[in-house]
Structure 1
Amino acid sequence: MDAAPSGTAAPSGPVSRPAAARPAYPRLVAAILDRCDERGTLWTAMAAVAASGPFAAEAAYTTGGHGPPRRCPPPHPSGGTAGSANSAGATVPADPLTPLISALDGYSRYFDEPDGTRIRAIALRHRDHCLGYLAVRLLATPSDRETADADLIARRAGAALARHRDTPERGMRAGREERGSTRGTGPAAPGADLDTTVVRLAARSAFHEALARAAASGEGERGILRILYEHTGLPALTEDLFGNPRARAGPGPSGPRPAPGARQPGAHRAPGAVRDHDRLIVPVAMAGDPLGLVALVDPDRRATDADAAALEQTALVLAPHLAHERRLAELEPRLRHDLVERLISGTATDDVFGQAAVLGHDLHRPHRVAVLRWSGTPDGPAVCDAVERAARRLRLAVLTGSRGPTAVALLAGRETAGDALYRAVSAELGTDSGAVGVGGPCDGFAELPHSYEEAVRALAVRRRSHEPHGGTGFEELGLCRVMGIGDGERETDRFVREWLGALLDYDARHRTELAATLSYYLENGGSYDATSAALRVHRSTVRYRLQRIRAVTGHDLGDVDTRLNLHVASRIHHVLDRPRGPSPGGREPVIPDPADEAR
């Protein structure tokens, strides 16, 4: 309804606001003071309004004297305007929107178009006078905050227009002083217009409000830096105490800076913004405790006093955020450790569901307990860190704790292979000199202590086996499931010694392999032929060795109970100590000469 005539630079329809190219309105509001004429002020304010909410620019109007409002085309990219009109009040052909604006009484108002869209005419008022209007098309229903932002921008634009009309030269000077276009610019004259101060404070207030919103929005450090970058136009970044980068907003590299780790804790403690080569930096601290620094990358030294003040304000906003992060980093491992200890010790109650949820873990899912020990690793927490990294690679949800040098991990899910976890943790630690034991699955947290005991038993069997490095699940233990830990483990050793001790001692003295022969004989159901084939010896050799076994041990191999006990002891011994039977390559065991054995 209000397309601009072709003789102007105004758009022929609503100006859309691409989200990727939308500037931050606090920076645009501050730029209103830089405009040297009414036209620049009007259209800078228009851009700020468009950035503050779902508004599309339609037209800008200036009022003066007792005449009707006059449409003001946007500045031409070359610096003037399109066509022959160069002043803010240049006359352009009338359009359907102009009569509606002319009928206003100096206050903002909405207009409904035939197609259902709405136009809002925002009055630019100052000291009970209306100095112009900004007409914007509503792309959506604005929120109360977006409407308030647009009205705040209008008030600042009205004050800027009043300053231009009062004394154009003084208005230009005040704008330069507010933005600090040069470092050497002195303060405003004592008689400077109070409106300049009001607008300057309002611009600062808008920036502070934007910072507060970013801090409360959950965007975190990057969101706060984005506001600083959009306000100053300079890339913004944060570093930790040692010069390592944390977050950044804005394009391009940060330029020369100390290598990570080169800066000592507490560097740059001087208050306020200071120059550090190509950057303007401010330390971030909380209650005197240094947390890092925030910086503007400024190789061309374009930063103004206002930019330095914005940087200092950003440091104040970042301080509680970084301090909170540090407290969480210190507290979270302790909370995880305490929660895991309660779960595996059997003292947990229903409140553990909420505690686990706070730590980002769902205890309602089935779990297994894994225990890990690594040689050369100083303590369990170091292994826990590696377990968490490995779990992320394996896409496992994990809750970690430790008991002394042993790491404990609660792994979500029923299918968790000990070998896969072992390989992933080995890769993280850079050494495979460790072992993993995994307990059975449990559907509720009350079963976790039992899964923990199974994991400890699996770890103990693995560490005592002929392959002490690797991963073992409790289901893989077979007969060794009956092995206990502590006193139970010692009882198992006594059982093996009771039934096989004499035979093992004989093998050690004479370098024979009678224990291995007995194991093969029992595994093959007492068959001479199957045993000789497995050992690759003659059948008579097997018969001779069995006679020697009877003589050495005093056991009757024909007794059912005796054979069962010998079989169980042989199985346990095979798991816990390397058997001395034929190697996988097929090498025959040492066969002693019968005459030597008789001696």
Structure 2
Amino acid sequence: MASRGRFGDSQPNGDGASSDGGPDLSDRQARIAVEAALTREYRFQQKLSQALTADVPEQGIAEVLQEHLGLDVAVEDPFGHVLARGGAGAEATYPRLTRAQRDRLVDAARRMSGPVRVRDQLASVAASRGTLLGLIVVLDPQGTLEPDGKTPELDARPGGPIAGALHAIGLATGALTLHLLHRRHLARTELRLRHDLVETVLLECDQDGLEAEVDRRVGRASALSHDLTGPHRVLAVRPRHGHWPDGEAVGDLVEQAARSLDMPYLGTLRGQTAILVCGTPRAWQTESGSATAPWSGRPTMGPGAGATRTSEPCSGSAWQAVHDAFTHVLQDVPAVGVGSFVDRPEHLPRSYREAMQALTVRTRQADPRGLITFEDLGLYRLLATPEGRREAGAFVEDWIGSLLAYDSERQADLVHTLGVYLDQGGNYDATAAALHIHRSTLRYRLQRVRELSGHDLAHTDTRLNLHVAVRAAVVADPAVLPASG
């Protein structure tokens, strides 16, 4: 009589056969399947751990999961940008979701413990305390990981292929969460350190102990992988309408622009203005690392003997690359003020003040968009300082206050007309053409200017003072007039 086990099971003999003579194949197959599944999962976890130590962990996670599942995988950031792809066809076949579809997917995934299917995709959310950090998206157009409903006991068993795949996606999502959370903490720490450093280097150095203070600043910058000893300029960037794009981190946008220019920088945000302490862009560096024009502000060497300046201003086409880089990432034309070139860290506060002067002039224009360097401010270099703006207000009131009051009351255009007339050197035909008015209309307006202001436009000194007053009105504190362009 066959012996019975504790729970009434037939006991197999040592050769794998049951006591009644029949082989116990189901137990052996199950044991082999479980052991194989455990071995495969152990190897997957090993590779996943190694992926976290790679240079680009997101790419490693995507590739390890793709290899394990045999399905294409993508890793996204919180805004839907693809960070990494796993699989030869992932880039070509990866179907992007609309903003509404993505929002619904993320909302559903947050409420469930595992991946959520949306059409041909399985998405798993990497989140921490309700904050979305990223997504793992598995492309499964054939429904490979979808239970067929015919054998639910096989689909759900621990060693089953579907349960194992879903478990692997969960492990990969956990690994991605840890990596992205760690990276976020590092980024916040570095951002704070960079902000603190920029705030420090923009302060005037005390002349007592100057060398030691400069060394401290250089050392702190070096710890953040930035060489503060080389040539620099300070840039002040303000987006159009004074607001940065929704859903985008200012630091990420600035980094994109700087990367496209191959320009090292340290940055901070003051209000809605990004302040960037910038090293020389790669395009304006010699092989030895010294700066060339236009970054250096030095004249270029012409074909003849000696140095010659180009006819265009510093803010002309030579600076178009900088202008275009920020326009591209902001998807609109910002206002950019550029401080003068400095070659010593202790001179950076001056470049910062000059960048803010240039930005003030740029934003006070009728069209505030575009880039202007301190070198191109001309008369505004005197007027755009805080003290100069206060003095400008009194000067403007003395010379064109009556015209400003008349324009405000009558919705007239006398100050603008006067400014264009003086810009054109007193030429009637050129002024009329620039204003798109008839000569008789121009003559009438200028007569009203004479009557209201009491000034003789034929007098040289009077015309000079009136011209300065019109320009000063742009930067007067507070501004009383947008410039004519």
Partner of 2:11: none
Partner of 1:342: 200
| 1:311 and 2:176 aligned | no
Counterpart of 1:482, as a letter, is L
Q: Write the distance in 2 (CA, Å) between the matches of 1:535 and 1:287.
A: 64
2:270 corresponds to which of 369, 383, 403: 403
Counterpart of 2:55, as a letter, is G
Q: Write the distance in 2 (CA, Å) between the matches of 1:476 and 1:177.
A: 81
Q: Write the distance in 2 (CA, Å) between the matches of 1:218 and 1:502.
A: 64
Contact 2:361 2:384 in 1 (8 A): no
| 1:572 and 2:468 aligned | yes
Contact 1:226 1:249 in 2 (8 A): yes
Partner of 1:227: 64
Q: Write the distance in 2 (CA, Å) between the matches of 1:376 and 1:514.
A: 27
Sort the Cα spacing of 1:401 and 1:175 in 2 relative to 1 into closer, same or farther, 3 A. farther
| 1:301 and 2:144 aligned | yes
- The correspondence of residues 139-288 of structure 1 with structure 2, limited to 5 A, is 177=30, 180=33, 197=35, 203-239=40-76, 246-252=83-89, 253=93, 259-265=101-107, 267-271=109-113, 283-285=125-127
Bigger shift: 453-462 or 333-342? 333-342
| 1:373 and 2:238 aligned | yes
Q: Write the distance in 2 (CA, Å) between the matches of 1:170 and 1:273.
A: 40
| 1:453 and 2:353 aligned | yes
Partner of 1:443: 343
- The correspondence of residues 65-104 of structure 1 with structure 2, limited to 5 A, is none
1:453 offset after TM fit, Å? 0.9
1:459 offset after TM fit, Å? 2.4
Q: Give RMSD over aligned pairs.
A: 5.2
Sort the Cα spacing of 1:418 and 1:387 in 2 relative to 1 into closer, same or farther, 3 A. farther
SS at match of 2:263: coil
Sort the Cα spacing of 1:366 and 1:210 in 2 relative to 1 into closer, same or farther, 3 A. same
With the length of structure 2 as denominator, give the TM-score of the two structures: 0.58
Which structure is larger by alpha-carbon Rg, 1 or 2?
1
Which 5+ residue runs of structure 2 have no aligned equivalent? Answer: 1-13, 146-160, 206-212, 281-290, 296-313, 433-438, 475-483
Partner of 1:494: 394
SS at match of 2:377: helix
Sort the Cα spacing of 1:295 and 1:474 in 2 relative to 1 into closer, same or farther, 3 A. closer
Contact 1:242 1:264 in 2 (8 A): no
- Alignment identity in percent? 30
Identify which of structures 1 and 2 has the higher relative contact order when contacts are C-alpha pairs closer than 8 Å and 6+ apart: 2
Contact 1:242 1:263 in 2 (8 A): no
Contact 2:393 2:472 in 1 (8 A): no
Contact 1:400 1:409 in 2 (8 A): yes
Counterpart of 1:425, as a letter, is F
Counterpart of 1:494, as a letter, is A
Q: Write the distance in 2 (CA, Å) between the matches of 1:520 and 1:268.
A: 63
Sort the Cα spacing of 1:460 and 1:408 in 2 relative to 1 into closer, same or farther, 3 A. same
1:220 offset after TM fit, Å? 0.5
Sort the Cα spacing of 1:176 and 1:445 in 2 relative to 1 into closer, same or farther, 3 A. farther
SS at match of 1:262: helix
SS at match of 2:106: coil
1:368 offset after TM fit, Å? 0.9
After superposition, the C-alpha distances for 1:157-195 in whole angstroms (9 at most, x for unaligned) are: xxxxxxxx9769989878854675xxxxxx7xxxxxxxx
With the length of structure 1 as denominator, give the TM-score of the two structures: 0.49
Contact 2:360 2:384 in 1 (8 A): no
Partner of 2:179: 321
Sort the Cα spacing of 1:317 and 1:383 in 2 relative to 1 into closer, same or farther, 3 A. closer
1:213 offset after TM fit, Å? 1.8
Contact 1:345 1:449 in 2 (8 A): yes
Q: Write the distance in 1 (CA, Å) between the matches of 2:86 and 2:239.
A: 41
1:293 offset after TM fit, Å? 4.8
Sort the Cα spacing of 1:173 and 1:215 in 2 relative to 1 into closer, same or farther, 3 A. farther
Q: Write the distance in 1 (CA, Å) between the matches of 2:203 and 2:228.
A: 16
Counterpart of 1:450, as a letter, is R
Partner of 1:425: 326
After superposition, the C-alpha distances for 1:206-256 in whole angstroms (9 at most, x for unaligned) are: 333222222123230111232233234333344556877543312443679
Q: Write the distance in 2 (CA, Å) between the matches of 1:274 and 1:437.
A: 48
Contact 1:507 1:513 in 2 (8 A): no
Contact 1:441 1:451 in 2 (8 A): yes
1:451 offset after TM fit, Å? 0.5
